[in-house]
Structure 1
Amino acid sequence: MSQHELESAVFHQDVLKYVDLGEGPPVVLVHGLLGSHESWGPQIDMLAEKYRVIAPDLFGHGESDKPRGDYSLSSHAATVRDLMDHLEISSAPLVGHSLGGGIIMQMAYLFPERVERLCLVSSGGLGPEVSSYLKAATLPGSEFVLPVLASGWVRRNTEAVLGLLGRTGLPVQPSRSAVETWRSLGTVADRATRDAFLASVRAVVGPRGQTVSAKQHFPRFETLPAMLIWGGKDTMIPAHHAENVREEVPRSQIEVFPDAGHFPQLDEPYRFFRVLDTFLRAGTEEPSNG
Structure 2
Amino acid sequence: MTLETYSLVLHGQRVRLREYRPAADTCDEAVVLVHGIAGSAETWQPVLDRCPALGRRVLALDLPGHGGSDAPRADYGLGAMASIVRDVLAVSGVRHATVAGHSLGGGIAMQFAYQFPEMCDRLVLVGSAGLGTEVSPVLRAASLPGASAVLALAVNRATLALARLARGLGGSLKTETRELARHFGSLADPARRRAFLSIAGSLMDLRGQRASAAEKLYLAESVPLLLVWGARDPLIPVAHGRRTAALLPGSRLVVQENAKHFPHVADPDGFCLLLNEFLTGTEPARLTLDDVAARLAGDAKPPAGKLSSG
- Scaled by the length of structure 1, the TM-score of the pair is 0.90
Identical-residue share of aligned pairs (%):
39
Partner secondary structure for residue 254 of structure 2: strand
The answer (yes or no) to whether the contact 1:175–1:267 under 8 Å persists in 2 is: no
Residue 201 of structure 2 corresponds to residue 202 of structure 1:
yes
Task: Decide whether aligned partners of structure 1 residues 103 and 138 sit closer, same or farther in structure 2, where only a CA change above 3 A counts.
Answer: same
State the 1:97 CA deviation: 0.4
AA aligned to 1:47 is C
AA aligned to 2:174 is S
What are structure 1's unaligned runs of at least 5 residues?
Answer: 167-172, 286-290
The answer (yes or no) to whether the contact 2:98–2:120 under 8 Å persists in 1 is: yes
Residue 137 of structure 2 corresponds to residue 132 of structure 1:
yes
What are structure 2's unaligned runs of at least 5 residues?
Answer: 285-310
Larger C-alpha radius of gyration, 1 or 2?
A: 2
* 2:278 paired residue number: 279
Q: How many aligned residue pairs are there?
A: 276
Task: Supply the distance in 1 between the matched residues of 2:282 and 2:119 (Cα, whole angstroms).
Answer: 14
Per-residue Cα deviation, 1:219-238 (whole angstroms, up to 9, x for no partner): 11111100100011111111
* 1:151 paired residue number: 156
- Scaled by the length of structure 2, the TM-score of the pair is 0.85
Per-residue Cα deviation, 1:187-210 (whole angstroms, up to 9, x for no partner): 111111111111112221111100
Partner secondary structure for residue 50 of structure 2: helix
Q: 73, 87, 97: which one pairs with 1:82?
A: 87
* 1:31 paired residue number: 35
Task: Decide whether aligned partners of structure 1 residues 45 and 161 sit closer, same or farther in structure 2, where only a CA change above 3 A counts.
Answer: closer
The answer (yes or no) to whether the contact 1:29–1:53 under 8 Å persists in 2 is: yes
AA aligned to 1:126 is L
Correspondence 1:1-290 to 2 at 5 A = 5-23=4-22, 24=25, 25=27, 26-49=30-53, 50-161=55-166, 174-283=173-282
Task: Supply the distance in 2 between the matched residues of 1:162 and 1:17 (Cα, whole angstroms).
Answer: 29
Task: Decide whether aligned partners of structure 1 residues 16 and 161 sit closer, same or farther in structure 2, where only a CA change above 3 A counts.
Answer: closer
Per-residue Cα deviation, 1:20-63 (whole angstroms, up to 9, x for no partner): 21223411000010111101131012124512111000111000
Per-residue Cα deviation, 1:149-187 (whole angstroms, up to 9, x for no partner): 212332343454556555xxxxxx643221111111111
Task: Supply the distance in 2 between the matched residues of 1:147 and 1:7 (Cα, whole angstroms).
Answer: 30
Task: Supply the distance in 2 between the matched residues of 1:116 and 1:104 (Cα, whole angstroms).
Answer: 11
Per-residue Cα deviation, 1:48-92 (whole angstroms, up to 9, x for no partner): 451211100011100001010100000000000111110111111
AA aligned to 2:11 is H
AA aligned to 2:65 is G
Task: Decide whether aligned partners of structure 1 residues 32 and 259 sit closer, same or farther in structure 2, where only a CA change above 3 A counts.
Answer: same
AA aligned to 2:143 is T
Q: Which has the higher mean CA deviation after the structures are superposed, 156-165 or 248-257?
A: 156-165
AA aligned to 2:14 is V
Task: Supply the distance in 2 between the matched residues of 1:51 and 1:228 (Cα, whole angstroms).
Answer: 21
